[in-house]
């Protein structure tokens, strides 16, 4: 049960926040849940997303709430629940998290800002900067970069509660992925597959952790393809979509083929699926995340050679850049409140980032693998005409079998993506038990 882990999660937040405050010379912290984002020159808002630092504490949705954390005090949560006949203000009920807070409800945001006192050592985190100034926060205490960095740093180490949330988000997404596969095998269009996914998961589109990628055939080679074409009877499906749970989200990709797909492409699908699992087995505390990424390239080099797409395998192929046009993204990223969760390149609690090697600019994680991190492992092989143009006429063009590559291009690409939580000796794969 997710909720049984929650009190320990709040205790941990209290402890790590107290340490971060002390290190930066503060004694209290106010975090707001966020403001609606209104489109320019419009009266429509984007779907609301809580400030991640607020969501890290409590799964209370909606804007304007305030959380007040002070050293050695029970945290105070001020819920803003205005009377409203335009938008539903659902009653709170009795959520499992409420008793962990000194809980207050007010009818308007201005009252929330009067429900605590501000000292020169109270910090504020969030986007209500004007309200914070008006409430008396010192300019240097509003979103102090080093305090923010420390909070981000802690977000990389998931509590048992967070891992349980991500597990639930994964299990929920798996229901949608099963429905999507069945629909694809029955000839459904991208649009129909998307809707059947939502129905199986039981949520609406704006609740998804990110916009779904439902790509038939050649569209699988567009990494973040987002159209939903009505065309039916695809021969391959690349589907990358997650599900939400209490503010956390999963991020899962599967690629499926029918018997109408080219036999070599079907072998490629099986090969990527197998090498993805070998990469999962390789992940353990202490290894640099970059090693996983390079291992993915090496595995892909061997697979491409075995299938006759290239003539050079192993590290020699990797070093000559043979795999780069086929695998042009990073092998994964931290996962949590945000789908590309913060901190993947952070070098120390107070900030600093380590860039990836120049040949892998899209690698989002350059840290070491450590216990309690949650990340994706998502190797892929794609046939992207734009990326194949250069090697086709370059000095290494003889290393590729262009005839086979051109034959497979109409089938798009393969990506297999699981969500894993790092344990003492390896990883717990949150996805594979379900799909």
Nearer of residues 118 and 223 to Mn ion, judged by Cβ: 223
Question: Footprint of Mn ion on residues 253-282 (CB under 5 A)?
Answer: 253
Rounded to whole angstroms, the Cα distance separating 192 from 79 reads 39
Nearer of residues 9 and 415 to ligand GLY, judged by Cβ: 415
Nearer of residues 74 and 340 to ligand GLY, judged by Cβ: 340
- Helix, strand, coil percentages for the chain (3-state, nearest 5): 40, 15, 45
Nearer of residues 217 and 417 to Mn ion, judged by Cβ: 417
User: How far apart are CB 179 and Mn ion at their closest, in Å?
Assistant: 18
Nearer of residues 211 and 396 to ligand GLY, judged by Cβ: 211
Which of Mn ion, ligand GLY, none interacts with 210 (beta carbon under 5 to 8 A by kind)? ligand GLY
Q: Mapping DSSP to helix (H, G, I), strand (E, B) and coil, where does residue 368 land?
A: strand
Q: Kindly write out the interface string for residues 125-164 of this chain, putting x where it contacts ligand GLY by CB under 6 A and - elsewhere.
A: ----------------------------------------
Rounded to whole angstroms, the Cα distance separating 198 from 230 reads 17
- Specify whether the CB–CB gap between 173 and 250 falls below 8 A: yes
Q: Tell me the helices (H) and strands (E) count for the chain, helix number first.
A: 12, 17
User: How far apart are CB 417 and ligand GLY at their closest, in Å?
Assistant: 6
User: How far apart are CB 34 and Mn ion at their closest, in Å?
Assistant: 24
- Of the candidate spans 62-70, 294-302, 357-365, 371-379, the one that interacts with Mn ion by CB under 5 A turns out to be 371-379
Rounded to whole angstroms, the Cα distance separating 186 from 196 reads 12
Tokens of 71: 């050293």
User: How far apart are CB 251 and ligand GLY at their closest, in Å?
Assistant: 5
Nearer of residues 18 and 251 to Mn ion, judged by Cβ: 251
Which of ligand GLY, Mn ion, none interacts with 50 (beta carbon under 5 to 8 A by kind)? none
- Of the candidate spans 20-28, 43-51, 201-209, 243-251, the one that interacts with Mn ion by CB under 5 A turns out to be 243-251
User: How far apart are CB 137 and ligand GLY at their closest, in Å?
Assistant: 36
Residue choice 240, 299, 302, 418 for contact with Mn ion (CB under 5 A):
240
Residue choice 62, 103, 210, 258 for contact with ligand GLY (CB under 6 A):
210
Which residue from 205, 204, 203, 223 is spatially nearest to 213, judged by alpha carbons?
223
By CB under 6 A, is residue 240 in contact with ligand GLY?
Answer: yes
Rounded to whole angstroms, the Cα distance separating 163 from 168 reads 9
β partners of residue 123: 29
Rounded to whole angstroms, the Cα distance separating 205 from 210 reads 9
- How many residues make contact with ligand GLY (CB under 6 A)? 6
Question: Footprint of Mn ion on residues 120-159 (CB under 5 A)?
Answer: none
Place of tokens 């969030």: 126
Residue choice 10, 378, 413, 431 for contact with ligand GLY (CB under 6 A):
378
Residue, CB closest to ligand GLY: 240
Taking the CA of residue 296 as centre, how many other CA atoms within 13 Å lie in the half-sphere pointing to its CB?
Answer: 31
Question: Footprint of ligand GLY on residues 317-356 (CB under 6 A)?
Answer: 333
Tokens of 428: 């717990």
Beta strands in 319-378 (DSSP E): 346-348, 351-353, 374-377
- How many residues make contact with Mn ion (CB under 5 A)? 5
Which of Mn ion, ligand GLY, none interacts with 409 (beta carbon under 5 to 8 A by kind)? none
Give me the phi and psi of 125, to 5 degrees please. -130, 125
Distances 392 to 299, 306, 317, 389, 401 between C-alpha atoms, Å: 22, 20, 15, 5, 10
Rounded to whole angstroms, the Cα distance separating 351 from 433 reads 36
Nearer of residues 162 and 251 to ligand GLY, judged by Cβ: 251
Which of ligand GLY, Mn ion, none interacts with 103 (beta carbon under 5 to 8 A by kind)? none
Which residue from 303, 249, 313, 263 is spatially nearest to 279, judged by alpha carbons?
303
Residue choice 269, 323, 338, 376 for contact with Mn ion (CB under 5 A):
376
Tokens of 170: 């994964």
Which of ligand GLY, Mn ion, none interacts with 24 (beta carbon under 5 to 8 A by kind)? none
* Residue 167 CA from chain centroid, whole number: 13
- Specify whether the CB–CB gap between 145 and 351 falls below 8 A: yes
User: How far apart are CB 356 and ligand GLY at their closest, in Å?
Assistant: 15
Place of tokens 């489109």: 39
User: How far apart are CB 226 and Mn ion at their closest, in Å?
Assistant: 12
| Residues that bind ligand GLY in the complex, under the rule CB under 6 A | 210, 240, 251, 333, 378, 417
| Residues that bind Mn ion in the complex, under the rule CB under 5 A | 240, 251, 253, 376, 417
């Amino acid at each position: 049960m997710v909720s049984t882990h929650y009190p320990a999660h709040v205790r941990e937040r209290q402890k790590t926040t107290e340490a971060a405050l002390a290190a930066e010379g503060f004694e209290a912290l106010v975090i707001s849940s966020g403001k609606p984002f209104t489109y320019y020159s419009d009266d429509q808002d984007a779907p609301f997303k809580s400030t991640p630092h607020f969501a890290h504490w409590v799964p209370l949705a909606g804007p304007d709430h305030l959380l007040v954390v002070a050293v050695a005090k029970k945290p105070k949560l001020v819920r803003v629940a205005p009377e409203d006949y335009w938008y539903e203000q659902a009653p709170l009920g009795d959520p499992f998290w409420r008793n962990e807070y000194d809980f207050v409800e007010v009818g308007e945001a201005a009252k929330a800002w009067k429900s605590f006192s501000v000292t020169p050592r109270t910090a504020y985190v969030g986007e209500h900067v004007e309200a914070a100034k008006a409430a008396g926060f010192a300019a240097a205490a509003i979103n102090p970069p080093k305090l923010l960095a420390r909070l981000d740093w802690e977000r990389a180490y998931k509590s048992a509660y967070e891992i349980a949330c991500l597990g639930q988000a994964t299990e929920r997404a798996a229901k949608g992925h099963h429905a999507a596969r069945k629909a694809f095998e029955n000839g459904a269009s991208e649009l129909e597959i998307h809707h059947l996914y939502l129905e199986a998961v039981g949520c609406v589109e704006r609740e998804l952790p990110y916009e779904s990628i439902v790509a038939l055939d050649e569209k699988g080679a567009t990494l973040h393809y987002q159209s939903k074409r009505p065309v039916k009877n695809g021969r391959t499906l690349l589907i990358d979509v997650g599900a939400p749970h209490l503010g956390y989200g999963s991020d899962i990709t599967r690629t499926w083929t029918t018997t109408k797909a080219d036999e070599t492409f079907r072998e490629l699908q099986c090969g990527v699926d197998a090498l993805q699992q070998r990469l999962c087995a390789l992940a353990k505390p202490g290894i640099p995340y970059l090693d996983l990424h390079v291992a993915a390239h090496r595995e892909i080099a061997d697979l491409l050679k075995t299938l006759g797409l290239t003539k050079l395998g192993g590290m020699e192929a990797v070093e000559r850049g043979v795999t780069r046009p086929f695998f042009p993204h990073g092998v994964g990223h931290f996962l949590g409140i945000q789908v590309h969760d913060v901190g993947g390149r952070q070098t120390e609690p107070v900030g600093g980032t380590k860039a990836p090697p120049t040949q892998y600019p899209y690698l989002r994680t350059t840290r070491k693998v450590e216990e309690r991190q949650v990340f994706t492992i998502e190797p892929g092989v794609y046939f992207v005409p734009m990326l194949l143009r250069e090697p086709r006429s370059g000095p290494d063009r003889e290393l590729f079998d262009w005839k086979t590559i051109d034959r497979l291009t109409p089938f798009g690409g393969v990506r297999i993506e699981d969500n894993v939580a790092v344990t003492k000796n390896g990883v717990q794969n949150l996805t594979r038990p379900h799909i």
